[in-house]
């Protein structure tokens, strides 16, 4: 049953990663551009780095979660495991998002303080 749990978990993780990553990339550019007062080249650079980092963290975290997954014997355990693991990755991504926004804010203050 673990194989089924892994497949469902990876499918959910993939869909969330791609969809949310695309939304962050598209909408985040406008946010970062506003913070950096129209500096397009720095905005695009930061936005691409954030997207790559987001994908790498997702892949790594998904692999770690699968490696420490306990044995699943019943359908209830299957559902509970998938929900727990998906919840963990979503919470991790939310925290990572807010940390990134804070770092971008710090970059804004540092970048325009030195100009």
**37-76 confidence digits (pLDDT tens):** 888 998 899 889 989 988 898 888 888 888 888 889 999 9
Token pair of 85, please? 């693991």
- Long-range contacts of range 49-54, CB-CB < 8 Å, 24 or more positions apart? 50/24, 50/25, 50/100, 51/21, 51/24, 51/25, 53/100, 54/17, 54/21, 54/24, 54/93, 54/96
Q: What percent of the chain stands above pLDDT 70?
A: 96
């Amino acid at each position: 049953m673990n194989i089924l749990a892994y497949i469902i978990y990876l499918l959910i993780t993939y869909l969330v990663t791609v969809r949310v990553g695309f939304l962050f990339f598209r909408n985040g550019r406008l946010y970062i551009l506003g913070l950096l007062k129209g500096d397009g080249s720095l905005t695009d650079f930061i936005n691409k780095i954030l997207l790559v980092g987001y994908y790498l963290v997702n892949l790594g975290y998904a692999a770690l979660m699968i490696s420490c997954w306990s044995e699943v014997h019943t359908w209830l355990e299957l559902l509970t495991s998938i929900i727990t693991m998906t919840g963990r990755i979503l919470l991790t991504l939310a925290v990572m998002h807010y940390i990134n926004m804070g770092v971008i804010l710090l970059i804004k203050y540092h970048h325009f303080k030195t100009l």
